[in-house]
Amino acid sequence: MSYGNDMSHMVSVFVPIDRDRPALPYDEFITEGGRHPTAFAEDPKYGGHFYAKYKFPNGRGVTVICGQMFYSRIDAPYEVMFDDEDDPYGYQTDEELMILLAKAIGDM
């Protein structure tokens, strides 16, 4: 886990301002998202923590999280967890996130 990267800039991706869902790939399948529950009790020195939960038509669920207390950093901000797997995919780039989500939905 990386405690040296402030992820506050990711608020524009996970917390919608001018739209109804986060600005992530396959956003039509996002069932909930925003500030991660740890964000409300976090120490400000650790920056932002965010999440988005997906539910795909094939039944697969995926959670994408971002923040200093997770497996994310400035150049690879996403940690991805499939509901039917035990280990997360940490330090994912935008492209790697897209590939994992495409596999989850069955597009690949």
> What secondary structure does DSSP assign to 44-72, as a single string?
GGG--EEEEEEE-TTS-EEEEEEETTSS-
Query: pLDDT tens, 61-95?
Result: 999 999 888 888 889 999 999 999 999 999 999 99
Residue 58 has pLDDT above 70, yes or no: yes
Q: Which two tokens stand for residue 76?
A: 């690879």
102 — pLDDT class (breaks 50, 70, 90): very high
Q: Would you state the torsion angle of the CA atoms of residues 26, 95, 73, 18, taken in this order, to the nearest 10 degrees? A: -40
pTM of the model: 0.82
What is the Cα–Cα distance from 83 to 29, expressed in whole angstroms?
A: 15
Beta carbons within 8 Å of 103's beta carbon, 6+ residues apart:
none
What is the Cα–Cα distance from 34 to 44, expressed in whole angstroms?
A: 17
108 — pLDDT class (breaks 50, 70, 90): low
User: What pLDDT score was predicted for residue 10?
Assistant: 82
